[in-house]
C-alpha cells in the first residue's frame, strides 16, 4: 500500500514539472540571397559606391511588440552588431494582429510569402538562412548568430546608390548593380528595392516591455527588376518614390537592397509552425503529457498496485 501511494505521488508531481524545449536548428531558405544595405537619412542627400564584398550581412528579424522571446533574440543581435557589422531590419507582424501597430500587411505578406512563417521570433541571414525561436544550438544566441552572420555570399562586383530628398515625403533614388559571378537557377530574377526604416518607434503598450522598438521597416518599394540570364548581371535605374509615414518622430532612412528570387511558387514553412496569436512562439516544445492525463494514469497505477498488495 505504501509503495502504491509513493508511486502515485511521484507520478503526480511529474505532471507539474516544467516542459523541456530543444533548439530549432538553422535551416536553408532556398529562396535566393538578399544583399545590399547602402543607405541615407531621408532628409539628407547621400551617395555611396561599394564593392559587393564590403557590404554588411543583412539580418531580417521577424518580431512583435508582444513577443517576449523576441527580446532575447534582439538583445543578442545588438550584442554582436559592432563585432559582425550586421545590418538589422525588423519586420513586425501585422496580419491578424491586434496588439502590434508597427507592421504593415504588405511587408508582413512579403515575409510570409518568401520565408513561409508567421511565428516570431525568426531571424534571416542574407536571405539564405533562417533561425526560428530563441533557444540557441550553440552556447549562446550571440555565438550562434555570430557564426550565421559570417557566411559570405562571395559575390564579385559593385553597387552604387544615391538619394536626394525632393519635396516633403518624396525623394529621388538612383542605383546601379554589376555582378560578375551570379549563380542562380534558370528563371531567377533580381529585384532592386528601397527599404524605408524607422530608427526607433516608441510604443509604451508593448507587452514585452521594450517600449522603444528599433530598425522598424515601414515600407518596401520595388524600384527595379531584372531577369537573370547568366553569371554576368548589370542593372541600373532611377525613380522618385513617396515615403511611408514614420510611426512617430522623423528618423526615417532609405536603404538599397537587392532580392534574388528563385523561380518557385511556394515557400516551404521552414519552421513547420502554425500561426501564433498573441503569445511567445518559435520554440520547438517537446513536453510531457498534460497534467490531467498523468494524474489519471497515476490513479490506475495505484489501483493496480493496491490489488496486488
Question: Mind listing the pLDDT tens digit for each residue in 252-306?
Answer: 999 999 999 999 753 444 334 444 444 444 443 333 333 333 334 443 444 444 4
45 lies in the same domain as 146: yes
197 lies in the same domain as 302: no
Peptide bond preceding 121 in cis form (omega within 30 of 0): yes
CATH code, domain with 40: 3.40.30.10
34 lies in the same domain as 8: no
10 lies in the same domain as 151: no
Query: What is the four-CA torsion angle of 195, 197, 203, 209, rounded to 10 degrees?
Result: 90
251 lies in the same domain as 196: yes
Cβ(67)–Cβ(38) below 8 Å: no
Q: What tens digit of pLDDT does each residue of 83-131 get?
A: 999 999 999 999 999 999 999 999 999 999 999 988 999 999 999 999 9
104 lies in the same domain as 11: no
CA distances to 8, 146, 150 from 129, rounded to whole Å, are 47, 13, 11
252 lies in the same domain as 300: no
23 lies in the same domain as 117: yes
Q: How far apart are the first and last CA of the chain?
A: 6
Output the nine-digit C-alpha cell for 57: 550581412
165 lies in the same domain as 301: no
Q: Global pTM?
A: 0.81
The domain of 13 spans 1-17+296-309
111 lies in the same domain as 168: yes
Number of domains in the chain: 2
Amino acid at each position: 500500500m505504501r509503495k502504491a501511494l509513493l508511486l502515485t505521488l511521484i507520478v503526480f508531481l511529474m505532471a507539474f514539472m516544467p516542459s523541456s524545449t530543444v533548439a530549432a536548428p538553422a535551416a536553408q531558405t532556398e529562396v535566393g540571397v538578399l544583399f545590399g544595405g547602402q543607405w541615407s537619412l531621408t532628409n539628407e542627400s547621400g551617395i555611396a559606391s561599394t564593392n559587393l564584398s564590403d557590404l554588411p550581412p543583412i539580418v531580417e528579424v521577424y518580431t512583435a511588440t508582444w513577443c517576449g522571446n523576441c527580446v532575447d533574440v534582439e538583445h543578442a543581435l545588438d550584442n554582436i552588431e559592432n563585432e559582425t557589422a550586421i545590418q538589422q531590419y525588423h519586420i513586425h507582424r501585422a496580419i491578424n494582429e491586434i496588439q502590434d501597430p508597427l507592421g504593415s500587411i504588405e511587408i508582413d505578406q512579403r515575409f510570409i510569402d518568401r520565408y513561409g512563417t508567421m511565428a516570431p521570433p525568426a531571424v534571416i541571414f542574407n536571405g539564405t538562412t533562417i533561425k526560428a525561436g530563441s533557444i540557441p544550438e550553440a552556447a549562446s544566441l550571440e555565438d550562434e548568430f555570430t557564426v550565421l552572420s559570417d557566411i559570405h555570399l562571395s559575390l564579385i562586383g559593385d553597387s552604387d546608390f544615391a538619394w536626394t530628398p525632393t519635396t516633403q515625403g518624396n525623394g529621388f533614388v538612383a542605383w546601379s548593380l554589376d555582378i560578375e559571378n551570379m549563380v542562380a537557377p534558370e528563371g531567377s530574377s533580381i529585384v532592386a528595392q528601397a527599404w524605408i526604416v524607422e530608427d526607433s518607434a516608441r510604443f509604451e503598450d508593448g507587452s514585452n516591455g521594450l517600449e522603444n522598438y528599433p530598425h522598424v521597416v515601414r515600407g518596401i518599394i520595388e524600384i527595379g527588376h531584372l531577369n537573370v540570364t547568366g553569371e554576368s548581371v548589370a542593372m541600373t535605374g532611377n525613380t522618385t518614390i513617396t515615403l511611408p509615414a514614420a510611426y512617430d518622430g522623423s528618423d526615417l532612412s532609405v536603404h538599397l537592397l537587392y532580392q534574388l528570387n528563385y523561380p518557385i511558387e511556394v515557400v516551404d514553412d521552414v519552421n513547420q509552425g502554425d500561426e501564433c496569436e498573441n503569445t511567445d512562439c518559435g520554440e520547438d516544445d517537446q513536453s510531457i503529457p498534460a497534467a490531467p492525463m498523468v494524474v489519471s494514469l497515476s490513479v490506475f497505477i495505484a489501483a493496480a498496485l493496491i490489488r496486488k498488495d
